[in-house]
Structure 1
Amino acid sequence: MIFMSTTAAAEIAAIKQVVAAVEHVQNHELPDEFAALFRADAIWTTGHGKRLFGRGAISAFTHQVLPGGMQDTTVTFEVEHVLFIRPDVAAVKVRQVYQTAHGTDVGTPLFVMAKEDGRWLLTACQNTSVIDNG
């Protein structure tokens, strides 16, 4: 059995809250709130390989695709693993499941997050589609 310190457990809970916020803002098509989850200098690579540098670019892209993008679709995010690189930097592996009118699409994002001023922020993120769900 692995024992986790109270501090680590609290940090993982805070990280899970950010991931839950990503789920919430996507499902409710809230592009400003989505962009606010990122550091100003963040890097985001979409599931289709579009590379976005900085919160401004992430915001502009999200304002183009998110409104209306979740019509007849819901998404869930589940934190599968957290690796603390340093106490204030974590690599977070996420399972992402989109339920659409055409079926289920699974993704496996990696969120590198940094804690700044007591708040965990998305810093370098790569979204990847899963071809085979098996």
Structure 2
Amino acid sequence: MDTTTIDEPTRTTDIEAIRQVVATVQHATQNENVEEFLSLFRADAIWTTGGGKRLFGLDEISAFTRQVLPGGMAGLTITMEVVRVLFIRADVAAVKVRQLYVSSTGQPSEDEGEGTPLFVMSKENGQWRLTACQNTGVAA
């Protein structure tokens, strides 16, 4: 049995780096920046959209994103907050996110509302990457 523990400074640094990836997802989505969004994924990543569409690999994720992101945020603001990080291994983390859509009036969007994505991230060459993600809406 491996009794090695992750030292606290490393974990703190990794959590901050993971928060930065989520902040970049928020920024890219809010600003409809397809290339910035796609740069966060591993080439073999899996993404399941809020509507349940399964996308395998960066080519499929890219094709879908190029169709829906430009114009997809019209009249909306999005916020994403990391609510929990579970380190599965030192280089793999499950990240639970709270996602809120707000209309141009400042009220929660009736159409989009709240999401609860799960991002499984892996540390690749020192950088945290989106690896297997599920974007799930919260039932009203």
For the aligned pair, the TM-score class normalised by the smaller chain equals over 0.9
Deviation, 1:13, is 0.2
Q: Which runs of 5+ in 1 are unaligned?
A: none
- 1:4-38 deviation line (CA, Å, top 9, x unaligned): 81110110000000000000000000111111100
Letter in 2 for 1:109: P
Residues 1-134 of structure 1: pairs in structure 2 closer than 5 A:
5-100=8-103, 103-104=108-109, 105-132=113-140
Letter in 2 for 1:110: L
Q: CA RMSD in A?
A: 1.2
Distance in 2 between the 1:123 and 1:129 partners? Answer: 20
2:96 is paired with a residue of what secondary structure? strand
- 1:77-104 deviation line (CA, Å, top 9, x unaligned): 0000000000000000000001125833
**8 Å contact 2:119–2:133 — kept in the other structure?**
yes
Distance in 2 between the 1:121 and 1:108 partners? Answer: 19
- 1:42-74 deviation line (CA, Å, top 9, x unaligned): 000000001000011111100000001111101
Query: TM-score, normalization: structure 1?
Result: 0.93
Identity %: 62
Query: TM-score, normalization: structure 2?
Result: 0.89
Higher Rg = 2
Q: Which runs of 5+ in 2 are unaligned?
A: 1-6
**8 Å contact 2:44–2:56 — kept in the other structure?**
yes
Distance in 1 between the 2:94 and 2:132 partners? Answer: 9
